[in-house]
Each structure stands twice: as structure tokens, then as C-alpha cells.
Amino acid sequence: MNLFDLTFMAMGGIIGAGIFSSVGEGIGVTGRSITLALIVGMVFQMSQQVRYVFTSSMFKVSGGMYSQDALVLTPYLTGVAGLMLFINALNWAVYGISIASYIGDLFPVLKNFPELTAAVALAIFFVIGYIGVSAFTKVLNAFGILKFVALGLFIFYGITKVQAGGFEGEPYFYGGTADFFTAIALMSFACGGATKIMNVQALCENPKRDIPKAWLISQLVVVVIYALLGYVASGVAPYDQVANQNLGAIGGMFMPIAVTGFFVVGGALLSISTSLLSSIPGTPLTVMGMADDGWLPKIFKNRLFVFILLYIINLIPIFLGFSLSELISMLLVPTMIITAIKNYRGMKMPEMYPEEWANCSIKCSIGLFKALLAISIVTSLITSAFSLRNLTMTQAIGTVIMTILVFVYPKIRMGSGKVKIVSTTDMDKEEAAAK
């Protein structure tokens, strides 16, 4: 993979199901300030990912982000981070809820059965993922350009319909500063995804040089697209008509029927589908790998068991009636806490790996590097705190309990003596030694 391949992959990773699912929710939280929330959310995401960018320019490891985490974390914290990867599979429920919303727009009769529609849709994707979809996924990925076209049409048709001065009583910063930061936390879900290129180092021509460049280029391009998208989505109609609506419903207010149909099918549904098909087959392998390392019981080595368990777990928030924003917030709370810990540990990278730091393709002083990671810690904790604020008391208590268990379980597992982690080394060094 060259620089162009990596840049396109990173952009595709960012512009995925999240943006089609959560912008309307964000408008509901902060009104027309969603445009600024998207921009700040992207800045937050970039700060939280900066350690991976530096690590990719220092090391070439086949294990992707998991291996990059292991380079700076203790074995215990490696287990914590791995367990969070398992829990984050709950974000598939977000996609199921979003699919049900868009299908309801196409077939209004199904609007009365959103939970069942979401459950059936997820079941179809889980079956396809279990059977094996390598060829099918490649075909769908070839149509990834459609989501860029769909968003382009949304912006093209809508930008002239925006009421720049606002509608009467139009709420900017709806709910005040606190809700604005809650929207930033929510939008960070839609701004992530560029780190997927960190997992393909072994397939790159020059990963230590090209991955950081692709990461930066993709972020700058997408933040412009997102700013225009938020501007249109929040400004084409009064707040009470666009708040908490999906982009298909908003697009139907100003786009021709045929274009709206293309947007829903070719943009939203295809984007969500490719996101699911690219993650469902691989995540069980990660869970099985954790079982191999001893973090999970032996039964988790059974692929069918893992698929069935993940499907059942994703049904829970769907039938409990969680909204998109609530489910996203519940996942972001522990994820951002762990991100802050990983980036705190990452501050020691120049001292831990002086040779690799000296040869890093990104030239940066140690002081600036640590300052960037300090910023990332602050933004991670802000995201976590305001995500927690978006939950009901019951949901908040459940999220806190889940977060505590994420830290307690690996400690118990290590105490059992069943954990054995295989360390990773720089592939460039392995190749040099072989020669």
C-alpha cells in the first residue's frame, strides 16, 4: 500500500457509519453549533491518536494497535486495553439501530418495529460474517466511493437552502456550554477511524513515512467535509424538524426523491454495511487471540461461541431502548479513560526506545511530544466526563460498574497464572537480522 492507498483507507475509516448515525443526535444536543462541535471533535480525536502516529513512525509491528499498546503498557494494562476492545464490539448495536432508522424511512411500516428490524439486520450481518465474506467485502469496499458521492450530493443540494441567519428562535449552543461539550464527545465517535491504517503496517511500502502523512492528510480533508455537512444538516430547517433525525430524513427535506433514495441506500446503508462487514469477521479473531493469551476462558477459542455471544450482547442495548447517543456515550466513558492511561504511559517512549526515537520519521522535540500527549490526556478525560453526563443515573451507574470491571477482571485473571503474553518486535529489525 502506498501513500494514496493509505490516505483513501483512512478517509474511509473516518467517514463511516458514525457520521450517518449521530449528526442528528448531536444537533439535538447543541443545535446549530453542531458544525463547531464536529470541528472540535476532530481536533480531540487527532490529539488522542497522536501517540499511535509517532509509534507508527518508530516501529513496524504486525500486531497493529494492540502491539503498539503493548510497547508502552504493562502486561496488566495490556489486558485492560484488550478487554476494552472486546467491550467496544457493542458499537455494532449502534449500527443496528441506525440501519433500522434508515430502513424505516424507506419502508414506513417498519418504523413501528425498530428493535426487531435492528435485530434481524444484525443477524444477517453476523451470519454473513461467520460464513466468510472476503470476496463480498472486497466488492462492497470497491463501492466505498459512493458514500463520498452521497455526502457530496447532500452538501451540494443543501448548502443553498441553509438559512444563514437562523430561523426565528433558532438555538445556537442549545443547552449551554455543558451540552456543547457533550455534543463534542458524541461527535468524536463519528470523527474516529483513521487509526485503522495503523493495523496494516505489514502491507505498506514505507509505513514509517507514509502512515503519519496519510493520517494527517485524511483528517484535514474530512474535517472540511464534516464542517460543511454539519452546516447544512443543522441549517436547512428549524431545530425541531432536524434534531435527533438521521441524515436521510434531513436530506429528504431538500433533495429530490431519487437523490434521497440514492443517499439512503448508496450512502448511509452501504456505509453502515461495509463498516459492519469489515469489523464483524475480524473482531471474534481478536477475542479468540485474547483467549489464546489467557485473558479469557478457553471456550472463547470457539469461533461459533464468540459470534453467538457477541450477537446476544449487542441485542441487549437494542431491546432496552438505548438511543444512539446513550449507547455511544456508555462506550466512550471507559474507552477514553483507558486512552488517557495509554497516552500517559506513552510519554516515556523517547526514554524507553532512544534508538527508535532518534530514527523517527517525525522530527519533534521530546518536550513538544510530551506536551501533545498531555493535551491528548486532557481531551480524553473531557470526552469521558461529558459522555457520562449524557446518561441517565441508572445508565451512568452501569457504565461506572462496567469501567471498574474492565480494570478488575485482568488483575484477577493475571493472579490465576493463566496469562502468557507474546511480546512483539520491530519487523524491520527482524528483517535486518535475517539478512
Q: What is the secondary structure of 114-128 as a DSSP string?
A: HHHHHHHHHHHHHHH
Q: What's 361's DSSP letter?
A: S
Dist. CA 271–CA 94, nearest whole Å: 13
Q: Encode pLDDT of 109-152 as tens digits.
A: 888 898 999 999 999 988 887 886 555 555 555 666 788 888 89
Give residue 411's pLDDT band: very low, low, confident or very high (50, 70, 90). Answer: very high
Dist. CA 248–CA 83, nearest whole Å: 35
pTM, 2 dp: 0.79
Dist. CA 176–CA 187, nearest whole Å: 17
Domains parsed from the chain with CATH numbers: 3-429 (1.20.1740.10)
Residue 422 φ/ψ, nearest 5 degrees: -90, 120
183: alpha, beta or left, given left = phi > 0 and alpha = psi -120 to 50?
A: alpha
The full length of the chain comes to 435
Q: Encode pLDDT of 75-110 as tens digits.
A: 898 888 888 877 877 778 878 888 888 888 788 888
Whole-Å CA distances, 148 to 8, 143, 154: 11, 10, 10
Cell of 185: 464527545
Give residue 428's pLDDT band: very low, low, confident or very high (50, 70, 90). Answer: low
Give residue 278's pLDDT band: very low, low, confident or very high (50, 70, 90). Answer: low
Give residue 424's pLDDT band: very low, low, confident or very high (50, 70, 90). Answer: very low
Dist. CA 256–CA 234, nearest whole Å: 19
Q: Encode pLDDT of 282-298 as tens digits.
A: 677 778 878 888 888 88
Dist. CA 337–CA 182, nearest whole Å: 16
Check: CB of residue 2 under 8 Å from CB of residue 260: no
pLDDT above 60 (res 314): yes
Place of cell 435492528: 118
pLDDT over 70 for what percent of the chain? 89
Dist. CA 68–CA 268, nearest whole Å: 32
pLDDT at 351: 93
pLDDT above 50 (res 237): yes
Check: CB of residue 183 under 8 Å from CB of residue 30: yes
Q: What's 49's DSSP letter?
A: H
Q: Encode pLDDT of 199-216 as tens digits.
A: 777 777 788 888 889 999
pLDDT above 50 (res 423): no
Q: Tell the burial category of 171 from Cβ atoms under 10 Å away from its Cβ (0-12, 13-18, 19+).
A: middle
Dist. CA 191–CA 209, nearest whole Å: 23
Place of cell 460464513: 131
Q: Encode pLDDT of 352-401 as tens digits.
A: 999 999 988 888 899 999 999 999 999 999 999 998 888 888 888 988 99
